Amino acid sequence: MAAPTARVKIREKLVEPIYDISTRNLFSSTHVTMATCPNLKDPDDAVNDPGAAPYGNFINYYSFNPPENRLSLIPATLLQDLGYRDGGDEPTLILDVGCNSGDLSVAIYKHLVQEPGESTVHLLGFDLDETLVERAEQTNPLHSNVSFIQLDITEETNQLQDFLGQHSCSHFHLCLCLAVTMWVHLNHGDSGLLQLLSRLAAISSHLLLEAQPWKCYRSAARRLRKLGRSDFDHFKTLKIRGDVAEHATEHLERHCGMELIRSFGSTAWDRKLLLFRRR
């Protein structure tokens, strides 16, 4: 029998993952060869692939986008810089939106908190994908300070209020929304994106935002349209397009009472890390 054929696109820049359709695994396009992955398919060919992750719920996201990619841009002193003192009477609460399998949540906690055992910093990560949340809980090494729940941010968010209530806080001190905006935007349109930003601004004192640039939308929409998902027709009618980070900034500043206070630069995938604060 003939060996399975596969087409590989090697791009100059890391723009989108590539799928091995047999394992549902993702690989960064610079580290993959036919020798390492004989069944490699590029996303354009991943028709009906159940691993195509219509919400960005990739099962091995951190093998092609390891936490260090973002951590190297975020100062370890961020919480102190923002005026949050660890070990005081008040807890410091971090929210991680769309935490996937929790690798970045735990890594960022360790990055920002010097002595996790003694700390009054608590991180809550949530994701709409139940399997990813289970995995995050199973591999969580910091049970007393880091926890994970299943939640879709576009639906009911009472669990976030419950968490705040348990810690007698009205707001999360720092909200992380990294590589999530595009998925909400593509699945729920312009209004979904704006509602996401408004919701997060309403419950956060500081917001660290990494919005995917427009070029990611084109590949994601093409891939997901091939799965027959008609809701991706949103893509054609989106009015918010082009510089998405700029649009998000404008919405947060004009309508959500937030202001941009810092940009930590861009990741290798050309995504800016922007820090906002409640005015």
Ligand X SMILES: C[S@@+](CC[C@H](N)C(=O)[O-])C[C@H]1O[C@@H](n2cnc3c(N)ncnc32)[C@H](O)[C@@H]1O
Q: Pick the closer one to ligand X by CB: 54 or 86.
A: 54
Considering only the stretches 2-10, 112-120, 128-136, 226-234, report the one whose residues sit in contact with ligand X under the rule CB under 6 A: 128-136
Task: Convert residues 21-40 into a mask of x (bound to ligand X by CB under 6 A) and - (unbound).
Answer: --------------------
Q: Does residue number 220 form part of the binding site for ligand X (CB under 6 A)?
A: no
132 lines the binding site for ligand X (CB under 6 A)? yes
93 touches ligand X by CB under 6 A: no
Which of helix, strand or coil describes residue 206? Answer: strand
- 56 counts as binding ligand X under rule CB under 6 A: yes
Residue 170 has a CB neighbour count (10 Å cut-off) of 9
57 near ligand X, judged by CB under 6 A: yes
CB atoms within 10 A of CB 135: 18
Shortest Cβ 180–ligand X spacing (Å) = 4
Question: Is-contact 134 111, C-beta < 8 A?
Answer: no
List, in order, residues 6 or more apart from 180 with CB less than 8 Å away: 56, 97, 98, 153, 196
Residue 111 one-letter amino acid: H
Q: Residue 82 contacts by C-beta under 8 Å, 6 or more apart in sequence?
A: 173, 174, 206, 277
**According to the binding rule CB under 6 A, does residue 214 interact with ligand X?**
no
CB of 103 to ligand X, least distance (A): 7
Binding test (CB under 6 A) with ligand X, winner from 26, 128, 274, 275:
128
- Whole-angstrom Cα distance, residue 220 to residue 57? 12
Task: Evaluate whether 17 touches 43 at the Cβ level (below 8 Å).
Answer: yes
Site size toward ligand X, by CB under 6 A = 20
Contact residues toward ligand X (CB under 6 A) are 55-57, 61, 98-100, 104, 127-129, 132, 152-154, 178-180, 183-184
